[in-house]
Amino acid sequence: MNFLPFIFNLFFSLYFGSMPISQKPDPCEEARTGAAAATEFAKDSLYHLALAKIKNAFVFDKKEHCVSFGKDVAGNMIASSILSGGNTSGKVPAIANAFADLHNHPNNLPPDAGDFYGLLDINKNKPVYNKRFVVTTAGTVYALLVTDIAAALEFIKKHPPQPPAFVGGPPGFAVAITDEAREMKYGFNCTDEMVLAFIIQKYNTGVSLLKQNSNGSFNKITTTFLKQGNQLFFKAGSCP
């Protein structure tokens, strides 16, 4: 079966159809300030304490757990108590002047569509709430960062969240977007983080995917592609 050219033609058509990838001169620039802020925030003892509590809670029951971060009347950073969820979802605890949250993924995967839409649902009413941190069972920490509220609202208008694929699961992307994601993952062997980084950039969602490196810094994750003949190759990258 001439499988690769077929997949290429299908994906190439989807990719260069009515929704081309955002052609920004420097895709890293939009996330630079927010990534630096995430890096500084992750150095705070309050963050480390929340991260440790979530990891310990997961060891005990293998479920999702979440902590929210806010500020008191004096402007000091505060954290909520830990709120336990289920195997594939959870709830964000309330806290005064909230600006970010942190939760774990028992499935060891990076942020998903549910995390994406959940963050934007909060952000549209609280612009300062622009970060969602996710830690995997392997210890990798990601962050979804809202960089353009107007673009995010426009994306939600065009592509509202879809019902969960299974009971208790997270909301999903539109069918067409999900199909593209599957093509990348199963047709081109892209990782989940490569797929998400590519999709949210392509559709100009106003959101960037960050990943913490071994030095503790958060950097935007990028996915680029290269056409060679009738084949398409994807490459994972990271902004400096």
Give the single-character DSSP code of 184. I
What confidence tier does 110 reach under pLDDT thresholds 50, 70, 90? Answer: very high
pTM, two decimal places: 0.88
* Mean pLDDT of the residues in the chain: 89
What confidence tier does 9 reach under pLDDT thresholds 50, 70, 90? Answer: very low
Helices first, then strands: H and E counts in the chain: 7, 9
Which phi-psi region, left, alpha or beta, contains residue 89 (left: φ > 0; alpha: ψ -120 to 50)?
A: beta
Where do the structural domains in the chain lie, given as residue ranges?
A: 23-238
> Contact, 222 vs 27, CB < 8 A?
yes
pLDDT tens column, 181-216:
999 999 999 999 999 999 999 999 999 999 999 999
Domain 23-238 of CATH type 2.30.30: no
What pLDDT, on a 0 to 100 scale, did the predictor assign at position 25?
64
What pLDDT, on a 0 to 100 scale, did the predictor assign at position 229?
81
Beta strands in the chain (DSSP E): 65-71, 77-79, 83-84, 100-105, 131-136, 141-146, 207-212, 218-228, 231-238
